[in-house]
């Protein structure tokens, strides 16, 4: 009886942390907010993911992985001669004073070689790799396309 209560309690905790998009149990010190990805048109092989990371101690985002794409890159966006260009970077710093904001027109995660288009209102798991916090799993919500970000 007690065992059954413990099991249902722990599955409830897992469910509730997935629902609010933050991974408290898995990653002391790091919280992920607003993980989202614009829906992609048919045939698209790339997609951007935006989110915010807050940390109670300095950490470094080293990369990410997801079952919906062959690999994930960290990109920065910069304007060169009036054209927005994206460039892969190795890692991204997050400090208690300065949350890491991955947002349209700036730094973002790029899903490469998508398995299939991302449909609006769907969601998919994404595992973020941090230098200190380790692996943090979040659910990414697929939202309306757009957001001022030109893709490759
Ligand atoms: Cu990109």
At 88-119, the pLDDT tens digits run 999 999 999 999 999 999 999 999 999 999 99
pLDDT in tens, 26-58: 456 899 999 999 999 989 999 999 999 999 999
Q: How far is the CA of 47 from the centre of ligand 1 (A)?
A: 8
Q: How far is the CA of 7 from the centre of ligand 1 (A)?
A: 41
Rounded CA-CA distance 28/151 in Å is 34
Rounded CA-CA distance 152/138 in Å is 25
Q: Which tokens in the block code for residue 119?
A: 């449909």
Domains belonging to the chain, first-starting first, are 2-143 (2.60.40.1890)
For the entire predicted model, the pTM comes to 0.78
Q: How far is the CA of 51 from the centre of ligand 1 (A)?
A: 14
pLDDT in tens, 119-146: 999 999 999 999 999 999 999 999 998 6
At 21, is the pLDDT very low, low, confident or very high (cuts 50, 70, 90)?
very low
């Amino acid at each position: 009886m007690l065992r059954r209560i413990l099991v249902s309690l722990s599955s409830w905790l897992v469910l509730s942390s997935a629902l609010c998009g933050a991974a408290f149990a898995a990653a002391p010190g790091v919280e992920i907010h607003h993980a989202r990805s614009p829906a992609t048109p048919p045939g698209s092989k790339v997609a951007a993911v935006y989110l915010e990371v807050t940390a109670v101690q300095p950490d470094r985002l080293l990369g990410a992985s997801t079952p919906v794409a062959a690999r994930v890159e960290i990109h920065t966006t910069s304007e060169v001669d009036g054209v927005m260009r994206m460039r892969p970077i190795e890692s991204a710093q997050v400090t208690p004073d300065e949350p890491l904001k991955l947002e349209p027109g700036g730094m973002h995660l790029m899903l490469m070689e998508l398995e299939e288009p991302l449909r609006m209102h769907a969601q998919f798991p994404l595992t973020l790799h941090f230098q200190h916090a380790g692996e943090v799993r979040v659910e990414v919500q697929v939202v309306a396309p757009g957001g001022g970000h030109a893709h490759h």
